[in-house]
């Protein structure tokens, strides 16, 4: 997202203009829906999560502080936390079970592979699975590094180093020019 557009959206949010939500949905809707889906692993639940997240985004719009986080980081936090809360509320009993359904969580679901994302998927495949698993566990599954270490049976130190390497790999794949291509591809 261009810095200018991001600024424009933030301004609209602060002016409490509904157009901000429309623009956010157009530019981040798919990504946030993907985040929600990754966490709750259910299409209907993910839709609920996205709705609730946007309502929260709208309600909390005056609490967004650009000096503390980029707009996407803020949107991501709200969506992820809403999704985790949703997951806990629908299935408080088998929290662990949901989190650790590895075959479903850590492989890319067939339904999520769509032609427009193919390039991205290919690129994602360039990151070794062991890094991807750690990244997903931390970013999407609501695990702390300690929890990821326990659940995945990987020592904490390894989790830390895999996270760092994984992120570095990600950066290698997506340099600034690649980022643009990626965004164009996604929007």
Residues making contact with other proteins (CB under 8 A): 18, 21-22, 25, 29-35, 37-38, 43, 47, 50-51, 54-55, 58-59, 68-70, 72-73, 76-77, 80-81, 112, 114, 116-117, 120-121, 123-124, 135, 138-140, 142, 144-145, 160, 163, 167, 170-171, 174, 179, 182-183, 186
For every residue of 52-96, which 3-state class applies, written as one string?
A: HHHHHHHHCHHHCCCCCCCHHHHHHHHHHHHHHHHHHHHCCCCHH
Shortest approach of other proteins to residue 114 CB, angstroms?
Answer: 6
Nearer to other proteins, 90 or 113 (CB): 113
Nearer to other proteins, 154 or 174 (CB): 174
Nearer to other proteins, 46 or 98 (CB): 46
């Amino acid at each position: 997202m261009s810095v200018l557009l991001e600024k424009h959206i933030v301004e609209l949010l602060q002016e409490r203009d509904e157009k901000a939500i429309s623009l956010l949905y157009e530019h981040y809707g798919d990504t946030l829906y993907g985040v929600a889906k990754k966490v709750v692993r259910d299409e209907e639940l993910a839709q609920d999560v996205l709705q609730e997240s946007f309502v929260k985004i709208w309600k909390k719009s005056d609490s967004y502080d650009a000096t503390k986080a980029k707009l996407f980081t803020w949107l991501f936090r709200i969506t992820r936390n809403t999704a985790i809360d949703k997951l806990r509320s629908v299935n408080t009993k088998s929290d662990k079970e949901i989190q650790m359904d590895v075959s479903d969580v850590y492989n890319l679901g067939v339904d999520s592979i769509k032609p427009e994302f193919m390039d991205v998927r290919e690129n994602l495949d360039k990151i070794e699975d062991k890094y991807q698993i750690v990244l997903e566990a931390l970013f999407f599954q609501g695990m702390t590094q300690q929890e990821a270490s326990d659940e995945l049976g990987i020592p904490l130190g390894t989790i830390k180093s895999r996270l760092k390497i994984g992120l570095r790999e990600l950066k290698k794949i997506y340099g600034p020019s690649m980022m643009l291509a990626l965004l164009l591809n996604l929007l």
